[in-house]
Amino acid sequence: MQRARGDRVERADLLDQVASAWSQLSPADYPFARSMAGQLRAHDDRADFLAGVDLILSGIEVIARP
């Protein structure tokens, strides 16, 4: 998955390359990566990011309560 500087890689192509590489890993050594390979191509970056922000803000809210 090497590329020259300045070359642009489309998100879908990159995720497809990574998912293909993950699916070829040893299931005994990399069970989580193997299990996520199929989902990687279609996951929603924005939704995942916003869920993470919500989680952090909820934690801050709990800590900040009197």
Does some domain include residue 1?
no
- State how far the alpha carbon of 29 is from the alpha carbons of 2, 15, 24, in Å: 24, 21, 11
- d(C-alpha 34, C-alpha 40), whole Å: 10
pLDDT by residue for the chain (66 residues), tens only, comes to: 555 556 788 888 889 999 999 999 999 999 999 999 989 888 888 899 999 999 999 999 999 988
- Token match 């803000």: residue? 57
Which DSSP helix (H) or strand (E) runs through 64? Answer: helix 45-64
Domain that holds residue 19: 11-64
Number of domains in the chain: 1
Does some domain include residue 4?
no
Does some domain include residue 35?
yes
Model's pTM, two decimal places? Answer: 0.60
Does some domain include residue 20?
yes
- d(C-alpha 8, C-alpha 12), whole Å: 12
Count other C-beta atoms under 10 Å from residue 19's C-beta: 19
Give me the CATH number covering residue 40.
Answer: 1.10.357.10
